[in-house]
Amino acid sequence: MKQVSKIIPLKNTEITGGFWADKQKLNREVTIHSVYNRFAETGRFEAFKLNWKQGEPNKPHIFWDSDIAKWMESAAYIIAKAPDAELERIIDETVDLIDKNRWDDGYFNICYTLFEPDDRFTARYNHELYCAGHLIEAAVAYYNATGKDKFLKIMCDYADMIEKAFVTEKWAEFDSPGHEEIELALVKLYHTTGEKRYLELSKYFVDVRGQEQDTYTQAHKPVREQDEAVGHSVRAVYLYSGMADLAAEYGDETLFTAADKLFDSMAKKKMYITGGLGQTCVGEAFLGDYDLPETSSYCETCADIGYILFAQRMSAISPNRKYDDAAELALYNGFLCGLSLDGKGFFYDNSIEVDLIGINNPKDGRHKPFYPITQRLEVFDCSCCPPNVTRLIANIGELACSENDNTLWLHHFMSGEFRGNGKAISVETAYPENGKMKITCSGNFTLALRLPVWCKNYTLTGGKNAVLKDNGFIYVDVADGEVIEYTLDMPVRFVQANPKVRQCCGRVAVQRGPVVYCAEGIDNPLPLKGLYVDPKNGAKLVESPEYGVSAIELDGYIKPESDELYYDYDENFVEQKIKLIPYYAYANRGETDMLIWLTRK
Ligand code: FUB
Ligand code: ZN
């Protein structure tokens, strides 16, 4: 199996305007600093001094290394595009602390150094390799952004120590990591240093997985035999991303085929309409196929981030719109919902339906069902999501394009410059507000444009020999200086779920382009399930600059008032306008009911 294309890296991309430029501006000016402040207040940066004493506040936690690592990675991507002395100072200070407090053999881990120095690599679930992986990713990002290699060398020493502990000297007391992450990180370290041993170490961790009989950490069977996404959702998508990386590097068809099956297991049987992943709070995990509860959804923001990164890898290896369409659903809905419009608040778990009566019903205290939080928070005890959000937004340009010798693929639509080898494109678009794209080409090559499966009509002008291939991309030959006008028709669509999704039977969701819409109680009469929609009535766009895309108004219905609890069915309805907003924008106006799946008249 040969990798068809390679991702165009951040350094060869510029986001120049539109939807994602706005999100990156908010990320750069507000979110990265807000997360820094919360992490400083809670002692996460202080913890790197390794001088916490019993009885002091802010006792370090086993994954604080990774929280700060993801923050540093985010800051590195921001610095790469917009130099920032303050961000650089913070990273350099933290790197100095890592250097000062690491072990002579290269090991670094705050909690083990402080609390269990004799127990390194004895407890599979304690996140040492997860934290090491995120620190490696941060070091790679910082080196690529600044050329500074101190952090990178520190993490190479740590990776070398890990290789000794797990492979050459084998004194570690477990085989595969309890939380996947290091696999994909080691491939990045290999790409940056050219040291093949890091690739081999990543392959070791992927190949050794499967004998622990542990579904929660996807260690229930060898990864090449896995065909269903199970267990903890974030662990899963990080593992699958590592599998994709290794399939590409080794041309391993079996590994790619397994990764493809796992992708389909999520995209076709376990993904919410929002792209959300993880149906249950129990283990932050997947449930069975088509079992998609709404008020108790889990849908951790990190899970969608990992899924988007997994899809990006798969669609570079073997360009196919199925990967990008599913990633786009997660990107514009399940992922983006994790961030408040003001850039300071985050969802850790994301609701698919908010029913405040159900949530606030008096409970006997013995059994209160799980409900996701209804308002975003600025920081959590377990704060993995906030710095994960900042790093994806800061690096969003890398989602756009991949290339090989003669073709450039446009996977995700955003205004920007994307420079490949001997070929480049400049994209101007207001996507996802509309589907119009003006693509100016530099060089003579084949341009491959994704045609989302939701798009039934499109226009394409410019170029020659345009052909839509089975993988859902339109391939068109372009000449230097040529301008391609590519427009996706984006009507409001009413979407139904497979009847096997028992929770959604008889209801419809509303989508426009990649954006899924929802009704909030603040805009509509309650109960929201008492709103009836008729897809035949069409829909009206309502300009809503505060969201970045239009809101939608439907000519809907409600039932006339009645004092009866039950009574004979009738066809009596009262007309009722129904206002819908983008799902990613819900819960920005206070706590209120929210519904995606609307009752069909
Ligand atoms: O365990 C580290 C991170 O914390 C996981 O990826 C998240 O699900 C949260 O549990
Ligand atoms: Zn998270």
pLDDT at 365: 66
129 CB under 6 A from ligand 1? no
Instruction: Write the pLDDT tens digit of every residue in 91-143.
Output: 999 999 999 999 999 999 999 999 999 999 999 999 999 999 999 999 999 99
Of 88, 128, 284, 482, catalytic:
284
Q: Is 348 in the pocket of ligand 1 (CB under 6 A)?
A: no
**Ligand 1 atom closest to the CA of 300, numbered from 1:** 8
Going by pLDDT thresholds of 50, 70 and 90, the confidence category of residue 353 is: very high
Residues 164-174 pLDDT 10s: 999 999 999 99
Is 564 one of the annotated active-site residues of the chain? Answer: no
Strands 515-520 and 507-512 turn out to be antiparallel
Q: Which residues pair with 374 in a beta bridge?
A: none
Mean pLDDT of 44-51: 98
* Token pair recorded at residue 419: 């420079």
Cβ of 298 less than 6 Å from ligand 1 = no
Residue 238 CA, closest ligand 1 atom number: 6
The CB density around residue 530, as the number of other CB atoms within 10 Å, is 13
Tell me the average pLDDT across 21-41.
98
In this prediction, residues 307-313 reach a mean pLDDT of: 98
End-to-end C-alpha distance for the chain, whole angstroms: 50
Task: Pinpoint the alpha helices (H) of 232-351.
Answer: 233-250, 253-269, 301-317, 321-329
pLDDT at 362: 73
Atom of ligand 1 nearest to the CA of 382: 4
232 Cα nearest atom in ligand 1: 8
**HSE-CB for 217 with a 13 A CA cutoff:** 22
> Does the predicted model carry a pTM greater than 0.75?
yes
Residues with CB under 5 A from ligand 2 (ion): 300, 302, 384-385
Tokens of residue 356, six digits? 């405040």
Tens of pLDDT, residue by residue over 188-232, are: 999 999 999 999 999 999 999 999 899 999 999 999 999 999 999
Phi, psi of 202, rounded to the nearest 5 degrees:
-60, -45
275 pLDDT band, cuts 50/70/90, is very high
Contact 63 CB / ligand 1 (< 6 Å): yes
pLDDT of residue 361: 81
Tally the C-alpha atoms within 13 A of residue 501's C-alpha that lie toward its C-beta: 20
pLDDT digits (tens, 9 = 90+) for 361-414: 876 766 678 899 999 999 999 999 999 999 999 999 999 999 999 999 999 999
CA torsion, ordered 67, 68, 72, 75, to nearest 10 deg: 70
Ligand 1 touching residue 134 (CB < 6 A): no
pLDDT in tens, 510-541: 999 999 999 999 999 999 999 999 999 989 99
With a pLDDT cut of 70, the percent of the chain lying above it is 99
441 counts as catalytic = no
Indicate the pLDDT class of residue 435, thresholds 50, 70 and 90. Answer: very high
DSSP letter string over 486-555? EEE---EEEE---TT-GGGTTEEEEEETTEEEEEETTTSPSPGGG-EE-GGG-EEEE--TTTSS-EEEEE
CA distance 26 to 31: 6
For ligand 1, the distance from its centroid to the CA atom of residue 162, given in whole angstroms, is 21
Q: Which is the catalytic residue, given 131, 384, 504, 518?
A: 384
Q: Whose CA is nearest to atom 8 of ligand 1?
A: 234
Handedness of CA 88, 91, 96, 97 (dihedral sign): positive
Helix segments in 330-378, DSSP class H:
356-360
| pLDDT classification of 360: cutoffs 50, 70, 90 | confident
3-class secondary structure, 600: strand
User: Containing H/E element for 447?
Assistant: strand 445-450
